[in-house]
Structure 1
């Protein structure tokens, strides 16, 4: 038995910039340098235990110790252990079962997968999506072409099966386009400012691309647009229908839409989820950065806009579209920051913005069906010091297969109750960071539970409403997904450089100083705050997602295994891959957790990792993918019976100083400049 290590003497804290783990170029284009400003949450809410130590205390690192039988039994949940990694049967290729050699940390300008696996680029920025779209030419871009081609910076990846038997080898790949990086998109001086803005505006949104299976099990390829009747591009000009109790509220009405029920476009779409009824949910995240204010922000909106980080210093879009000027159209800002739902099987249908799921910096939304048949959506607000949310539908899911069942299911997110999470720690005497939690109701579609705020008030200003309920402030809660095998919920908490200074530590957010690595191979250094992030495991009471109580534990304290603060579910730290800044999560058919990262501070490129969540292998982090220089790994999806891993390579080469003519990456190496792309990895033998 290996005894728990002693806490190290506290080292002098080294100075670090507010951007934490991301390159400054990414901070500028992705979120408008949000970290340069004070945290929007000034409520002072929710610290579990002020006396928690500065560094994580844990018990024995004996392999397989997990978090203890007592914790695993909480909630009475019967857990089927995920299969341990072992030799693959010939030709099987299922990623949850197959053994592989972990990819070592590296700084290559390439997608790297383990020996015995292949990876193919499925679709790139600029590839034609709609029939008649021109072939991509960086020197001949137009707004009209961009609206028919695959957009820039792909994030969420979903795959929806086609219902006809004749299409059994085809599926619809649904992808978000989060933001644009003009410095890397355009040859210097080639386009005037207005044309460039219009191209960037059309390069946001979503794409639906038909794909088909390749000859090797697990491989997929893009179908040409002329043979793909379901292909679609959703852009800044696409009309969305507003649903739920806030639809038509005066704050959603504008000169162009006096009804408050029809919004053009979707912005900064980050993660998402595919529903049991075959639609795709997409989260509008850093929408605050798109609005200018030519004559200042109107006073009546100042409190709301401040809580959402809306400053009026936008991207200049108001120069070509006046609705993005808050001085004249302040209500336009309320029309973004929602969960949107797209039906890829109905390419002519209007996508919807669901007000019932609240308005904040949505990372995504993922659905489970509770025991009583109600749809439960888990949500994260990707901001330092903001909250975890859950929605429970009023009506029940219809799995009968009747003709009207799907139409009914597509209304489930319009009525129900929205909750926010409060986590309570039970102390660290047991050496485990765990405790209990409660889902606090904010509003139903008919009744507000926040005094002084109406139902519409809560949904339009969800952050302000949640502040009044005293939930627990978290370290950038991003993807929050239920595991379909064990019924537990896993939340990626990416990082928080202000933990321990702007916000004191608590049992759910225990790290106040982290060890990072300036470059691959250089010694670890200590920096203030939680720089490497966590993965939180939530266990609904009785295994029922509709329950309003749960237990929780910190499954992973991410970082270098050599760092004192790290923890890997009790697994032997000498046998895991370094992991930093978890962002998105998914699961394979065996119930293993797959984690993608954004902003690795350990000197290596970002990547994707497989992590068993039960049994002797619980917490064994193994790196399966690294992405190219400057890129973020997004949207991991294990599909096709566990044979395929789809993922998005977002913003390759987004490194300070890089330009179109002098790129820091040329991946996928089809051009002399980088092109964000979606990739599929699979077993090659």
Structure 2
């Protein structure tokens, strides 16, 4: 079908409903990742406006075809390159990140030339011709020096605390050597699937306490030293664990900093000061700061808390329900059997200590990671940074649940570009204080959805609504610590726009345009559509591009446009940046966002099997020039797996991605495997490296 067919006055219709109730995921994934959140009513019951409150019939294809032309190239907003964390009262003493020398990244705007991988359901990683891949590290392999080799049939919590954790998600690579031949690999470990971890698993209530503790130890994150293989784009794990290697898990010590540190809302019997927390949970995406640290977001933390008795206090119950935490006696993971702090009847404030952005310093294995209360408490998909026009640091964050919000934090103090230890220690305190905002999107066509957009574009303007500014609450009736601990309720009251599961939110390193992956929202009704979320029953997801006013990441206003409406390219109600859809790869459920040195967007998907009928994968999308919107599938991942990450190295020669939950298919067990990735036996989450292997065409990813 031609891209010029159709008109605003043609008969419009709702997009077809594709996939089952889970919108692409298996029921097993829904159970273990988020405790079947999609089967429950959305926690957001606020009466915030939708743009359109008129039942609509569909989408104007003519309008979609021209949306990409509205993109504005914004300069002067540099994105952050790393993230880190140290104790609030014990600054890290790790080395500063090295200045890389001799790198020859691809020129900006370099065209994509590889032949796209076709959709498939193979139990393997599939890459384009001319590329190769290898496993860098997989679940259970030793990370810390004293960790034993992995033994699937004889696991222990003590071993797992030193071994690579389960379900790899966000991936980042930080240099060790100036020649970029050694590096530190950071990986999030989002959640565990005990059905695929233990023989004969029959549920958390019948599990042994040791099994529960193994699962607790398999959460968190890993820091692993890796090295380049010769002069290629391949990277491998250093065989003998080095001094930087580290496992962070549900028992690791953390500090809380920022305005809510010490709040009565964070105090427990074990921590009467409200400043020390054990563990981080369900860490999904993240970012890397300019000063060389990791930011990692705690997401679906609600599922780890059980109750031995009903929650009867109405205020506590309301606060729990806004985050999906159980208020009646019962359990999902039964961790309270191994550690009483997960019993909300005994420790009602313990859930308030999770759901934060965490900063970790990979260069100092002795540092204490910090939970930054100034950035608010939601189900953080991630946190990515940009430097504002006046030198402060902005952090962009999505709250990954249906009808939730997009947030921005701007630091009080300015970033120092110096390379001294003092400069780095200053920068590592930047996220302790600042201003917190939530986004309100406005379409520029008041008659939509009853009538197509007047300008033939799905676009508009918006503003960042203040929640905390200059250390004061901007939300009536809520103190600063209440806004930061119960950020969802504050955003409800502020009047933020309900979005279709905002996940990764990341600024372009050159243009400053912020790209938001909105993975899906099958629960949005026809009467709830608006220009920023224009599809009812949205099981395919979309991407919004946001441009801050004056190109400044500290701006209070912005413009936006839809850059991608995912789904079957043959469906007239999808949009691929205005590019000829007969040439693009089918993409659905975009999740993670990354950029390569050539300025192209990389998207990882979560839910393609149900939404499209084939495996998830990693895609590349040029966003400038004649090729803008020409999405190509770069990899596909094994059966039952989700593609996470991705990360393209600064030299543009390597792409790394996490293969999360291979074999996570309904009915699968350790005895009835749906996948044998990566080693031909029990399926194990892993990180893989992809590089250019052909002797022609250049060494870069995307060639």
Fold shared per TM-score above 0.5? yes
Which residue number corresponds to residue 589 of structure 2?
Answer: 581
Q: Is the 8 A contact 1:66 1:619 kept in 2?
A: no
What residue is the counterpart of 2:448 in the other structure?
none
Q: Match for 2:300 among 275, 286, 304?
A: 286
Equivalent positions of 1:559-598 (< 5 A) are 559-598=567-606
Match of 2:396, SS state, is strand
Instruction: Please say if residues 77 and 552 of structure 2, whose CA atoms lie closer than 8 Å, have aligned partners that are also in contact.
Output: no
- Given candidates 645, 649, 666, the residue that maps to 2:676 is 666
Q: What per-residue deviation string (whole Å, max 9, x for no partner) do you get for residues 72-128 of structure 1?
A: 34x876999xxxxxxxxxx99899645100000000000001000011110000000
Cα distance in 2 for residues equivalent to 1:111 and 1:16: 23
- The CA distance in 2 between the partners of 1:10 and 1:364, in whole Å, is 35
Alignment check: 8 A CA contact 2:597 2:650 kept: no
Q: What is the match of residue 379 of structure 1?
A: 397
Alignment partners' CA distance in 2, 1:671 and 1:444? 54
Post-superposition offset of 1:154: 0.4
Distance 2:211 2:486 in 1: 33
Question: In the alignment, which residue of structure 1 is the partner of 2:503?
Answer: 478
Deviations 1:287-319 (A, max 9, x none): 000000101124131111111010153310001
Q: CA deviation at 1:565?
A: 1.2
| Equivalent residues, number | 649
After superposition, the Cα gap between the structure-2 partners of 1:168 and 1:603, relative to the gap in structure 1 and judged at 3 Å, is closer
Correspondent of 1:120 among 116, 130, 134: 134
Q: Is the Cα contact below 8 Å between 1:342 and 1:351 reproduced in 2?
A: yes
Alpha-carbon shift at residue 67 of structure 1 (Å): 2.7
* Separation in structure 2 between the aligned mates of residue 636 and residue 11 of structure 1, nearest angstrom: 32
Residue 505 of structure 1 is matched in structure 2 by 529
TM-score (norm 2): 0.89
Q: Which runs of 5+ in 1 are unaligned?
A: 81-90, 513-528
Instruction: Provide the residue aligned with 1:338 in structure 2.
Output: 356
Give 3-state SS (helix, strand or coil) of 1:406's partner.
Answer: helix
Equivalent residue, structure 1, for 2:159: 145
1:169 is aligned to 2:170: no
Give the structure 2 partner of residue 306 of structure 1.
Answer: 321
SS of 2:319's equivalent in the other structure is helix
SS of residue matched to 2:62: coil
Q: 1-side partners of 2:497 and 2:63: how far apart?
A: 28
1:5 matches 2:20: no
Say if 1:287 and 1:210 are closer, same or farther in 2 by CA, change over 3 A.
same
The answer to whether 1:680 aligns with 2:695 is no
- 1:343-422 equivalent positions in 2, closer than 5 A: 343-422=361-440
**Does residue 62 of structure 2 align to residue 37 of structure 1?**
no
What is the DSSP-based 3-state SS (H/G/I as helix, E as strand, rest coil) of the residue aligned with 2:133? strand
Which residue number in structure 1 is paired with residue 197 of structure 2? 185
C-alpha distance 153-2 of structure 1, shift in aligned 2 (>3 A)? closer
Shift of 1:186: 1.0
Match of 1:67 in 2: 68
Equivalent residue number for residue 547 of structure 1: 555
User: In 2, distance between residues paired with 1:57 and 1:15?
Assistant: 20
- Contact residue 634 and residue 647 of structure 1 kept, 8 A: yes
Match of 1:620 in 2: 630
Alpha carbons of 1:66 and 1:48: their partners in 2 closer, same or farther (altered >3 Å)? closer
| Contact residue 61 and residue 572 of structure 1 kept, 8 A | no
Over 3 Å counting, the alpha-carbon distance change for 1:13 and 1:229 in structure 2 is closer
Q: How far did residue 181 of structure 1 move?
A: 0.4
Residue pair 2:64, 2:457 contacting (<8 A) in 1 also: no
Among candidates 206, 222, 247, match of residue 207 of structure 1:
222
Q: What SS does the aligned partner of 2:383 have?
A: strand
Alignment partner of 1:246 is 2:260: yes
Secondary structure, in 3 states, of the residue corresponding to 1:110? Answer: coil
Q: Residue 93 and residue 168 in structure 1: after superposition, are their counterparts in 2 closer, same or farther (change >3 A)?
A: closer
SS of the residue 1:375 aligns to: strand
Aligned residues: CA RMSD = 2.2
Q: Is the 8 A contact 1:54 1:510 kept in 2?
A: no
Q: For residues 379 and 9 of structure 1, do their structure 2 counterparts lie closer, same or farther at Cα, with a shift above 3 Å needed?
A: closer
Does structure 2 conserve the Cα–Cα contact (< 8 Å) formed by 1:8 and 1:564?
no
**Counterpart position of 2:700:** none
Q: Does residue 47 of the first structure (1) align with residue 50 of the second (2)?
A: yes
Deviation larger for 303-312 or 135-144: 303-312
